[in-house]
């Protein structure tokens, strides 16, 4: 399974989307930080980072976060998202 960055809007000027998940995060980029728990063990929780490529402000992140989180949740049915927030890229959490 490859890394697929989320592209916010094709008509805006953004960093180029890339398949390279090991790239150094743009210092102006914003990520979604999620606390997720296993459905089978609600006490087994961890924090993960969901990159949102091409989003450079907290307002944009809040706009694009819900559809991106829903997409992640659908592809990870064993987890429940307990909370989430937008933060500068690399702030904390483990990349998903």
The rounded distance, in Å, linking the Cα atoms of 12 and 60 is: 12
- Which CATH number does the domain housing residue 75 bear? 3.10.20
Query: What pLDDT, on the 0 to 100 scale, is given for residue 54?
Result: 77
23-33 tens-digit pLDDT = 444 556 888 99
Residue 12 in any domain: the answer is: no
On whether the pTM is more than 0.75, the answer is: no
Residue 21 in any domain: the answer is: no
Domain with 51, as residue range(s), is 30-90
The rounded distance, in Å, linking the Cα atoms of 32 and 67 is: 12
32-83 tens-digit pLDDT = 999 999 999 999 999 999 888 777 888 889 988 999 999 999 999 999 999 9
Residue 7 in any domain: the answer is: no
């Amino acid at each position: 399974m490859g890394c697929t960055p989320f592209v916010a809007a094709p008509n805006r000027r953004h960093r180029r989307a890339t398949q390279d998940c090991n790239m150094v995060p743009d210092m102006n980029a914003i990520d979604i930080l999620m606390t997720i728990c296993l459905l089978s063990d609600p006490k087994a929780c961890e924090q993960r980072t969901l990159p949102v490529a091409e989003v450079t402000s907290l307002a944009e992140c809040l706009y694009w976060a819900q559809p991106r989180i829903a997409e992640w949740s659908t592809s990870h049915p064993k987890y429940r998202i307990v909370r989430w927030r937008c933060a500068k890229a690399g702030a904390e959490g483990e990349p998903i």
